[in-house]
Amino acid sequence: MAGRLSFANITALAPMVRVGTLPMRLLALDYGADVVYCEELIDMKMVQCHRVENEVLQTVDFVAPDERVMFRTCAREKRKVVFQMGTADPERALSVARLVEKDVAAIDVNMGCPKEYSTKGGMGAALLSDPDKIEAILTKLVGGVSLPVTCKIRILPSLDDTVTLARRIEKTGVAAIAVHGRLKEERPRHPVHCDYIGAVARAVSIPVIANGGSLDLVKCHDDIRAFKEACAASSVMLARAAMWNPSVFRRAGPLPLHDVMTQYLKYALRYDNHAFNSKYCLCQMLRDKVESLLGKRVQAAQNNRELSEAYGLDDVFEETQAELEARRHALRSPEWRRGDVVAMDGDVATMALKFQRRQYPPQLTPKMFLLEWSRRQKTAQPTYHTVQRAQDRAFQSTVTVDRKKYRSSLWEKSKKFAEQASAVVCLRALGIPEGREGEENGGRQQKRKMEDDRDSDEEKRKKRMSDGDRESDKNVEPTLHA
């Protein structure tokens, strides 16, 4: 099909846990990689995510119930990025593939990683001993999505068994097979088995992507062709060689490592990459220089500002933060806020929103504002009905106000946050100020109004008590003294 990603004669950034996030993928594309794989993402975590178009970062984010961004991508890599998942369940694999289908170029199933992170639950290299499940997963994906589907395997102890498995995989209709030329028990210190990869390449008609040559065979871009020829493969996938210096993909030769790390950090700042993930990737590039003065500063950094200072990128950090804050400010405009979409779920008004505690002044919450509003309207106090989801123990709450119901369609990490989210939905649906910092007639003004109302009520109560006492005095007969 026209426009589909081809795996023939390509050089790819291999999937690497904690390394294959957006900044590294973009950097690899800058330096000449044809295709980039994201880090392996587990189906059980991804299936709980919801898709968010991040207008500030201009990305598409897949966000877990606890608000962590599990996968972030952008338009720049849309036709080049392969989403790799860890799975042992055909139906769940298909659900995840359909979730990300319109934002990536292909879907890959990890069948080669030997680490416990991947093998628990029968995923990763554990699948190599269950070819029936391999076939079921790949067949379900090939038939269920419009994108190319691939898989990444390790070799089996027997050459014949490896070839037999590859042929069985080919029959499912996958677009390519990536072969790491080591047994699942072997590690990088063991030599890569180019002969096994070559046997697979000769046995199937689809592209075979050779993997595993970083330590022994691939030191620079010129070595990529030699590794491909040694394996008789159509394409090559690089992991550690690219992790150590992504400019290995440059035909003109690698760049100085400091320049590469600086460019990586610029992408990390631009796309708000988590500081600890950025620090991990920078330390991998530093390798034996991790105990240098720069390395120690990187290891000690606790946030992106400190990482920027270590590389002399203070001005870049400030400029990037100012640019992102300007976008946030534009999106906070009243016109944008009123764009909240209310949808009806039966008799419940819903909005897709999360409770963000930092948006509200200290000691003030949406529940407080809603309670105060109800009191002034002389309606019954709001009541909250909260449920917990078994699969991830997340919470969702429905608030009833004046016999109408409101809730957020997104799940929260705690009962308190779920109740606050439902209160926000109610306040926004009714057009009531909720007290957010910077909100017109909100924040401190609302707090003062609530305090003034309470003071006024207290004065009225005292006056009623005083009037009652005087009235009571009139009705008491005078005491007769002897």
Give the count of domains, the chain. Answer: 3
Residue 43 shares a structural domain with residue 109: yes
Q: Are residues 170 and 184 in the same domain?
A: yes
SS (H, E, C) 164-197: HHHHHHHCCCCCEEEEECCCCCCCCCCCCCHHHH
Q: Which of 310, 331, 352 finishes a domain?
A: 331
Looking at the fold, whether 364 and 317 belong to one and the same domain comes out as no
State the pairing for strand pair 106-111/149-154: parallel
The closest alpha carbon to 269, from 16, 13, 27, 15, belongs to: 27
Residue 340 or residue 94, greater confidence: 94
Provide the mean pLDDT of the chain: 89
205-240 residue pLDDT tens: 999 999 999 978 998 899 999 999 999 999 999 999
- The verdict on residue 364 lying in a domain is yes
Which residues are part of the catalytic machinery? 113
- Residue 466 is predicted with a pLDDT of 53
**Do 308 and 408 share a domain, yes or no?**
no
- Over the stretch 1-12, which tens digit does the pLDDT of each residue have? 557 999 999 999
The mean per-residue pLDDT over the stretch 341-362 comes to: 86
Are 195 and 297 in the same domain? no
Looking at the fold, whether 110 and 195 belong to one and the same domain comes out as yes
- 198 and 117 in a common domain: yes
- What is the model's pLDDT at position 202? 98
What is the rounded average pLDDT of the residues 101-127? 93
- Residues 323 and 246 reside in one and the same domain: no
Answer whether 353's CB lies under 8 Å from 397's CB: no
Assess whether pLDDT exceeds 80 at residue 443. no
Cα 421 to Cα 357: distance, rounded to the nearest angstrom: 10
Q: 319 and 270: one domain?
A: yes
Q: How confident is the model at residue 17 (pLDDT cuts 50, 70, 90)?
A: very high
Residue 337 above 80 pLDDT?
no
In a domain, 411, yes or no: yes
| 361 domain residue, yes or no | yes
Within a domain: 179: yes
Inform me whether the pLDDT recorded for 181 exceeds 70. Answer: yes
pTM assigned to the model: 0.73
25 or 412: which leads in pLDDT: 25
Please check the confidence at residue 416 and state whether its pLDDT lies above 50.
yes
Domain closes at, from 253, 269, 300: 253
Q: Which domain holds residue 289?
A: 256-331
**Average pLDDT of span 340-355:** 86
Residue 346 has pLDDT above 50, yes or no: yes
Look at residue 138 in the predicted model and tell me its pLDDT.
98
pLDDT above 50: residue 478: no
Please write the tens of the pLDDT for every residue from 232-252.
999 999 999 999 999 999 999
* 287 and 202 in a common domain: no
The pLDDT of residue 358 is: 82
Q: Are the C-beta atoms of 267 and 26 separated by less than 8 Å?
A: yes
Residue 226 lies in a domain: yes
Q: Is residue 469 part of a domain?
A: no
Judge contact between 123 and 86, C-beta under 8 A.
Answer: yes
Strand pairing class (176-180; 149-154): parallel
Q: How confident is the model at residue 476 (pLDDT cuts 50, 70, 90)?
A: very low
Instruction: Please tell me the predicted confidence (pLDDT) of residue 364.
Output: 86
Nearest to 83 by CA among 169, 22, 9: 22
CATH code of 232's domain: 3.20.20.70
